[in-house]
Amino acid sequence: MNWLAVLLGAAVGAPLRYLTDLALRARRGSAFPWGTFAVNVAGSFVLGLVAGTTTARAHLLLGTGLCGALTTYSTFSYETLKLYEDGAKRLAVLNVAGSLAAGLGAVWLGVEAAAGLR
């Protein structure tokens, strides 16, 4: 039944990613991929929280399922390449550096928050 936990998490994560991207595109309307940036940072934080737990079911549901469907390395890569090809080289570099820094910071904060909850 482990697959069911992954399936349930993914059933929430994928639509959440899509809706977040739609909402941020409507609000921001810029060339920068704010939706992908936001879900990747949020997913990093949640994964940090999950890493601090010991429940195998939580890892499957939230880590593999939710975060796996919510975050997206492939879209990040494509959007960064597209920015570069469209001449927005600074935005492409900012996307890579910002995503890396924010993602690492978010996962660290998640781990620390989980440790504080124990």
d(CA 6, CA 28): 32
68 is in an annotated binding site: yes
C-alpha–C-alpha distance, residues 77 and 86, integer Å: 14
- Does 75 belong to an annotated binding site? no
Q: In terms of Cα–Cα distance, which of 25, 34, 44 is closest to 102?
A: 44
**Tally of CB atoms within 10 A around 48:** 23
Confirm if 62 and 50 have CB atoms less than 8 A apart. yes
* Residue numbering of the annotated binding site: 68, 71
List, as residue ranges, the binding site for Na(+): 68, 71
